[in-house]
Chains A and B, each alone.
Chain A
Amino acid sequence: MQRPKRKNPVLRTRLPTLPPAARSRVALGLTAAAALGRFELQQCRDCGAVQYPPREACQKCLSVVLDWKAQPAEGELLAQTVLHHSNDLFFRERLPWRLGLVKLDCGPTVVAHLHEAVQKRVRVRAMLDRAGQAVIAALPDKETTDMADDRQLREFTCDPKHRKVLVTDGKTALGQALIKELVSAKTEIVWVGYAEPWKKFAGFDELEKIPQVTLIPLDVTDSKNVRELAAEIAGKVDIVVNNAEHHRSFGIGNRQGVETARAEMDVNYFGLLRLAQEFGPAMRSRGADGSSSAVAWVNLLSIYALANFPPHGTFSASKAAAHSLAQCLRAEMRPAGVRVVNVFPGPIDDEWNQLLPPPKVAPAALAKAIVGALREGIEDVYPGDVAQEWLARWRDNPKALERELSA
C-alpha cells in the first residue's frame, strides 16, 4: 500500500456513511464474538449441528437451545463475484466490491467479504464493520505479504499504518512501549502527550530522537490545555490512544478523605470526558476521509472495571466509571464509523502494582496487544492470561468473581 497523498485542504471531506446496520437480536451473537476477535457460530446443544445464518431453532432437530461456540474457521471458496452496483450508499462509494460464497468445513455456506488474495482455501473471520456490526470476511488461508493492506479489509480494521496517532501519556513504560509498537506498525505521526512539561522524564531523550514522534505538553486534567491542543491537532488525529491514568492502592477504609479518589476520577474519568468532548467532534467529521480516515479511539481501562478489586477499590471505581463513559462514547462515535476500543488489562507490571503477585502483564506485551487489536479490528481487548482468565470467570458467573476478588 502506497502512502496516501497529502490531502488538498480545499476539497470537500467525504462525509461518513455506514454499511447496513440492522440485525435481528439473535444475529448479535456474531457481533459479540467479533468484538473479541473470535469466530463463533450457533451450535445445537442437542444434535451438534452448526447453524448459519443465525436462527431461533435448529434446522436439523428443531431444538431451540443453540449456543454460540468457537468454530473452525477454514473453508472452501465455491463462487465469487465483484459488485459494480450497490443499493447502499456506503458500498456505492467503495465499488467495486468483492464477495465470496464459502462452504465452511464445519457445515454451513456463508456469504463473505472477500480478500483479493484468496485462492481456493480460505480462513474466515468474524469482523466488525464500520457500523459496528459483525460480518464474515474470507481471507487467504495462509498469511500473504501486506495482507492487511487489502482495500476492503482496511474498512474493517483500524490499522495504524499511514495514520496519525495521539498517545495521551508518553511518560509511562506502557506509553513508551506503545510508541515503539506504533512506529514499527508504520504509523505516520505519533503525537505524544506529557504532563508537567517543566520536568524531564525518563525516556524523553529517546522519544525525541524518533522521527515520527512529536512531543506535546498534555495534562488531561486541564480543560484549557486539552481544548488548545485539540484546536491544533484534532482535525488531523486518526487514532486516539488514551493511556493516561492515575493509580493508587487502597479502597475506602485505609485512607482519609477523598483527595486521592478525586485525582483518580479526574484523570481516569474526567480526563476521558475532556478528551472526548474536544477531540470527538473533529474525529466524527473525518470518519470516511480517504484510506487514512479517523478510525479509532482506544481507552486504557482495567479488568477491575468489570468487578471491583477492593485492595485497589477507588481505582476500580474510576475505571468502572470510565468504562461506562466509553460505552457512551462508542454510541456517539458509531454514526461516523469511528471504533471505540476498550482495553481491559489485568494488573500491569509497574510500580503501582508492586505488591501484587504475578502473573502481571508487561507494558511491552500490553502495547503489542493494543496495536494488534487495532490491526485486527477488535473492539474489546483482554490482553494477557490474567485478563483472559478474569474475563472467563466474569462471563461464567459475575457474582462468583465479586466474591473471589473480595477474598
Chain B
Amino acid sequence: MLAAPVTVPYVRYSIRAAHWWLARAFSELLKKSHLAKEDVDGLTVSSFTLAPDTAIGLTQHLGLSPRWLDHVPLGGASAVVALRRAARAVQAGDADVVACIGGDTNHVDSFRLTLANFSQFARDAVYPYGAGGPNASFAFLTAHYMRVHGARREDFGKLCVAQRANALKFPLALFKKPLSMEEYLAARPIAEPLHLFDCVMPCAGAEGFLVLSEKKAKLLKLPYARLRGTIERHNAFPSDPVQMRAGWALDRDDLYGQAGAEPKNIDFVETYDDYPVISLMQLEDLGFCGKGDGPAFVRKHSFTCDGSFPLNTSGGQLSVGQAGAAGGFLGMVEAIRQLTGEAQGRQVKGAKLGLVSGFGMINYDRGLGSGAAILAAPKA
C-alpha cells in the first residue's frame, strides 16, 4: 500500500543542501502519519545533489537506524523503482514501513555543474556540443517525432496549456499564471523546435510517500492506495537509432495483466513530462493509442482534471517545476492524493485507477530507465 503523500514546497533557488530538502520530506512523512522516526524501518533515497553522500550517509545525518535501505539514483524513474523495491521489502518482511523520498536542491549554478558531469557519455559526447543540456537532446527527439508522426507545435501546446490549468488548482505549483495557446506558440525558442514552455524549469524541492502493508495502514488509520501492477526496464531497444519508444512498449502487457485492467479502465494518468513529446511517447507505449497516433489522440481529448483524459493532474513538472529527482516522484505523490481523496479542487471524479509512469537518465542520446505503476483506490 502507498500512503502519506507529501510535497515540500518548491522554490526556484535554494541556498540549502539536498540534505535539508530530504530531511523536510522525511519529517513531513512522520507528521502526516503520526509515526515516530524509529517506526520507519525502511528508507529509499533519490537525489542528484546529495553527492558526495548517498542514502547511507543520510541515515547518520538524520539519526535513523533503518533495517532496510536503498539508494535509487535513477532520475525520473526513481519513484516507480523505489516503490517496486519497497513493496518487495514489505512483502518479504524486511521492513514494516518504508519511506521513499526524492529531492534536490538548486543553487544558482548547480544545474550547469550537474549537466557538465552528468555521465561519462554526456561529458565526452554531448556537453561539448553546445552545452544545451537535456533541451538539446529532447529537441532531437521532438524534431524527429514531428517529422515522422506529423505532430505540430499545437499538439504539444495543448498538453502544456491543460497542465497549466491543472497547476492553477495546485497551491504548491511554482507557475501561478494561466497559459494560453497564443502565449505558448509565441514563446522564445530554446532549442528548436522546443520553445520556452516545452521545457521544465529546474528548481529545489522534495517529495515522499510511505510504503507499508494494508494491515499496518489500517492500524495507523492512514488513507492509502493499493499497488496493482508495476514494471521496470532499462536501456530498452538499444539499437533504435533515435528514441521513439522505451521499455513500456516491451512490458505493458505484463503491467495490465498484473493489474487485471486495460488502458480504458484507467481514470487518470501521470506521465513523466520533462518535455511534452515524452508524454506522447508514454501514452503510445502504454497502449492508450497506437504508435504514432499521439497527435491524433491529443486532438481528440482534453487533459484537464475534468477532461476526457485527465493527465498530470497537479500540473506536471512543466507547470510545478522540476526539482531534480523529485520530478520522478511528483506524479506518484499526486496519484496517491487522487486515490485517497486528497486532491481538493483537482479531484478527478470517481478516480479509482491511476497510472503513474517514470522515465529517467539521459545518459547519452536517450532516456534509459522506464517504469510504470497502476495504483487503485482501496475499494476499487
Contact = CB atoms under 8 A, between A and B. Distances in A.
B131 interface: yes
B367 to A, nearest CB: 14
B132 A78 contact: no
B136 interface: yes
A110 B147 contact: no
Nearest to B121: A53
Interface string B285-322: 00000000000000000000000000000000000000
A99 B190 contact: no
Given A112-B129, A135-B129, A22 B193 contact: no
A109 interface: yes
A113 B129 CA distance: 6
B123 A103 contact: no
B184 interface: no
B191 A87 contact: no
Interface string B345-376: 00000000000000000001100000000000
A52 B116 CA distance: 19
B191 A20 contact: no
A79 B131 contact: no
Given A81-B136, A91-B130, A99-B130, A111 B141 contact: no
Contacts of A24: 120, 123-124
Interface residues of A, number: 38
B48 to A, nearest CB: 15
B140 A79 contact: yes
A21 B131 CA distance: 11
B144 A78 contact: yes
A113 B141 CA distance: 16
Contacts of A88: 112, 127, 130-131
Given A23-B123, A84-B191, A85-B191, A101 B140 contact: yes
B130 A83 contact: yes
B20 interface: no
Contacts of B242: 78-79, 101, 103, 109
A110 B126 CA distance: 9
A130 to B, nearest CB: 11
Contacts of B123: 20, 22-24
Nearest to B117: A22
B135 interface: yes
Given A91-B130, A133-B128, A78 B111 contact: no
A86 interface: yes
A234 B350 CA distance: 78
B188 interface: yes
Interface in B192-242: 192-194, 238, 241-242
B99 interface: no
A203 B116 CA distance: 54
A324 interface: no
A99 B143 CA distance: 12
Interface residues on chain B, size class? 35 or more
A80 B144 CA distance: 8
Contacts of B238: 59
A52 B365 CA distance: 11
B107 to A, nearest CB: 14
B131 A99 contact: no
Given A78-B241, A83-B130, A54 B124 contact: yes
Given A79-B147, A84-B192, A87-B112, A20 B127 contact: yes
Nearest to A80: B143
B133 interface: yes
B129 A84 contact: no
Interface string B89-126: 00000000000000000000001100111001101111
Contact of A109 (B136, B190, B193, B365): B365
Interface string A103-133: 1000001111100000000000000010101
Contact of B241 (A80, A85, A109, A135): A109
A364 to B, nearest CB: 37
Contact of B126 (A22, A81, A111): A111
A27 B124 CA distance: 6
A350 to B, nearest CB: 42
B191 A135 contact: no
A205 to B, nearest CB: 49
A82 B121 CA distance: 21
A78 B117 CA distance: 26
B6 interface: no
Contacts of A112: 129
Nearest to A100: B140
Given A27-B124, A54-B124, A97-B130, 14 more contacts: A20-B131, A22-B123, A23-B124, A24-B123, A27-B125, A79-B140, A79-B143, A83-B136, A83-B139, A85-B135, A87-B132, A103-B241, A103-B242, A109-B365
13 contacts: A20-B116, A53-B364, A54-B124, A79-B242, A81-B132, A82-B192, A83-B139, A83-B190, A85-B191, A87-B131, A88-B127, A101-B140, A101-B365
Interface of A: 19-24, 27, 52-55, 59, 78-88, 90-91, 97, 99, 101, 103, 109-113, 129, 131, 133, 135
| Nearest 9 Cβ contacts at the A-B interface | A88-B131, A81-B139, A53-B125, A27-B124, A79-B144, A79-B140, A79-B143, A53-B121, A101-B140
